[in-house]
Structure 1
Amino acid sequence: MDRIDGIRAFVAVVDAGSFTRAGERLGISNKLVSKYVAALEGQQGVTLLNRTTRALSLTPAGERYLTAARRVLAAVEELDAQAHAEEGALTGRLRITAPVAFGEMFATTLTRDFARVHPGIDIDLNLSDRYVDLAAEGFDLALRIGQLPDSSLIARRIGQTETWVVASPAYLAAHPRPNRPEDLRDHVNIRDSNAQNPGRAVFLIEGKAVSVPLPGRITVNSAQAVRRLVLEGEGVALIPSFVVARDVAEGRLERLLPGFVRPQLDIQALYLPRPFLPPRLTAYLDHLRMGLSPLLKAPRPDS
């Protein structure tokens, strides 16, 4: 057995969660996947996976081996990509993670269009609002919105958006309309825990950044979930404009405090520093930068 086959099978099992799904991903039988992993364990002299009838889990040795295994596969894929890039064809696999709302509205469409142009590339798009560990979980790219914590990741801005303060007509019929940002402290605020500080909001007032408290009892880690609660009249919220633009245009929500500017939110693509960026990743980044702005400006379908 080629050791690279064993490493590839091992990583596929970890990512897929089973030998059967790993075989489907690799285009081989689950028995062959199991044989490759067992042979790799024999070569290493350690058990990498705990196997039970219900689940698989990494052993401590497997956890240590996984990080190195991902680096080996990345290096092999980069060599293959270099060779094919000279021939003008992009090949290989991209694993991308993006926030749920943004992913459903934009990343899915952009990824579909990219895959149509580059049929030699396989793409695994994972939509999640949690901050994944790119190195540990084997992702090539993370798409994120807003201010990011300091990290060793390389960030490339691919677009910008803003957040709007919105409420439903029903809520505003029962509560006084806020006229200034500080009025939000007297309202029921539905907060998005994906924000850097869910309990406060920054407005630019007379050229100065002013932080305003957002008291509230409900905090949700999804912009779409916040939107649904606001549509139901549960309170006021700050939501990315692309999520609620159609609701505002069609009168389901009202935009509040439009004369008070909030800082723009960067939409960023993050990846691990590496000496050689695979051509497929470079091409995908270029595709995002070119394609995102027109989508942000276009009317969104009702949802």
Structure 2
Amino acid sequence: MDRIDGLRAFVAVVDAGSFTRAGERLGISNKLVSKYVAALEGQQGITLLNRTTRALSLTLAGERYLAAARRVLSSIEELDAQARADEGALSGRLRVTAPVSFGEIFVAPLTVDFLAANPGIEIDLNLSDRYVDLAGEGFDLALRIGILADSSLIARRIGRTETWAVASPDYLARRGQPLHPDDLRAHDNIRDSNASAPHRATFVIEGKPIGVPLPGRITVNNAQAVRRLALAGEGIGLIPRFTIAEDVAQGRLTRLLTGFPGPQLDIQALYLPQPFVAPRITAYLDHLRRNLGPRLETSPAPAPEPPPDS
């Protein structure tokens, strides 16, 4: 067995969660996948996977080996891509992670467009609001919104959005409308834990950025969850424009504090430092940056709310 086949089989099993789905991904039988992984374990003299009738899990040695296996396979793909770069054809696989709301509205359709123009590319898109470990989990790119913590990752800005303060007409009828950012101290604020400082927000007041406390009883980790709670009249939410522009246009939410610009959020793509950036990564980033701006301006409507009893 070629050791590279073993590495590909092992990583595919981990990513797919089963030998059968790994075989479908690789275009071989599940028995051959199992044979490759067993042979790899035999060559290394370690057990990489715990196997039961119901589930698979990595052993401690398997967890350490996985990161190294991903790096080896990534290097091989980069060599292949470099060899084909002069031919102008993109090929290979990209693993991308993005926030859920932003990913559903923008990244997924833009990815479909990119794949249509590049039939040799395969993309595994993972939507999650948690901060993933690119090296440990084998992702090529992470798309993130807002201020980034200090990091050794390479960051490339692909867009920008603004944050709007909004509330439902029902909430404002009960509690009154804030006319100044300081008025938020007397309101129920729905905080987003993905913000750099969930308990505070920065507004431009008299030409200067000023931080304002956001008291509240509800903190969630997803912009759509903040939106749903605001629609339900639970308080005031600070939400990216693209998530609630249609709600504001239709009167379901009221935009507040329009004379005080809220936080501007950079949309950035992050990737690991590497001596050679695969052409497929560069092309995908160029595609996102070129097409994201116009779509952010039009801000497609979020999915409609389900009926209360559904």
TM-score by length of 1: 0.98
Which residue in 2 is equivalent to 1:50? Answer: 50
Distance, in Å, in 2 between the alignment partners of 1:110 and 1:284 is: 9
Q: Do residues 11 (structure 1) and 11 (structure 2) align?
A: yes
Deviation at 1:301, TM superposition (A): 3.3
Deviation at 1:208, TM superposition (A): 2.0
Aligned 8 A contact 2:161 2:241 in 1: yes
Aligned 8 A contact 2:231 2:252 in 1: yes
Correspondence list, 1:55-204, <5 A: 55-204=55-204
Q: Deviations over 1:29-80 (max 9, x none)?
A: 1111000000001111111111111211111211111111111000100011
Distance, in Å, in 1 between the alignment partners of 2:228 and 2:22 is: 37
Distance, in Å, in 1 between the alignment partners of 2:21 and 2:302 is: 35
Distance, in Å, in 1 between the alignment partners of 2:220 and 2:302 is: 22
Which residue in 1 is equivalent to 2:252? Answer: 252
Secondary structure at 2:247's aligned position in 1?
helix
Q: Deviations over 1:116-151 (max 9, x none)?
A: 000000000010000010001100000000001111
Which residue in 1 is equivalent to 2:274? Answer: 274
Distance, in Å, in 2 between the alignment partners of 1:267 and 1:55 is: 37
Distance, in Å, in 2 between the alignment partners of 1:274 and 1:155 is: 13
Secondary structure at 1:162's aligned position in 2?
strand
Letter of the aligned partner of 2:164 in structure 1? W
Secondary structure at 1:251's aligned position in 2?
coil
Identity %: 76
Distance, in Å, in 1 between the alignment partners of 2:113 and 2:276 is: 25
Letter of the aligned partner of 2:130 in structure 1? R
Deviation at 1:222, TM superposition (A): 0.9
Extract unaligned runs of 5+ from structure 1.
Answer: none
Deviation at 1:263, TM superposition (A): 3.1
Distance, in Å, in 1 between the alignment partners of 2:99 and 2:223 is: 9
Alignment RMSD, CA only? 0.9
Deviation at 1:302, TM superposition (A): 5.2
Letter of the aligned partner of 1:49 in structure 2? L
Q: What is the number of equivalent residue pairs in this alignment?
A: 303
Letter of the aligned partner of 2:170 in structure 1? A
Letter of the aligned partner of 2:45 in structure 1? G
Which residue in 1 is equivalent to 2:297? Answer: 297
Greater CA deviation, 137-146 or 205-214?
205-214
Aligned 8 A contact 2:223 2:239 in 1: yes
Which residue in 2 is equivalent to 1:231? Answer: 231
Distance, in Å, in 2 between the alignment partners of 1:297 and 1:27 is: 41
Distance, in Å, in 2 between the alignment partners of 1:177 and 1:47 is: 62
Which residue in 2 is equivalent to 1:283? Answer: 283
Distance, in Å, in 2 between the alignment partners of 1:120 and 1:111 is: 13
Secondary structure at 2:234's aligned position in 1?
coil
Which residue in 1 is equivalent to 2:212? Answer: 212
Q: Deviations over 1:59-104 (max 9, x none)?
A: 1211111111111000100011112222111100000000000000
Letter of the aligned partner of 1:106 in structure 2? F
1:174–1:97 distance in 2 versus 1, CA, 3 Å: same
Distance, in Å, in 2 between the alignment partners of 1:116 and 1:12 is: 24
Secondary structure at 1:230's aligned position in 2?
helix
Which residue in 1 is equivalent to 2:23? Answer: 23
Q: Do residues 33 (structure 1) and 38 (structure 2) align?
A: no
Deviation at 1:162, TM superposition (A): 0.6
Distance, in Å, in 1 between the alignment partners of 2:97 and 2:55 is: 24
Distance, in Å, in 2 between the alignment partners of 1:259 and 1:246 is: 20
Deviation at 1:299, TM superposition (A): 4.5
Q: Deviations over 1:170-228 (max 9, x none)?
A: 11111121011010010011111111111111112122221111111111111111101
Structure 1 segments, 4+ long, off by >6 Å, are: none
Secondary structure at 1:32's aligned position in 2?
helix
Secondary structure at 1:148's aligned position in 2?
coil
Distance, in Å, in 1 between the alignment partners of 2:225 and 2:302 is: 15
Secondary structure at 2:155's aligned position in 1?
strand
Letter of the aligned partner of 1:212 in structure 2? V
Distance, in Å, in 1 between the alignment partners of 2:286 and 2:299 is: 23
1:144–1:302 distance in 2 versus 1, CA, 3 Å: closer
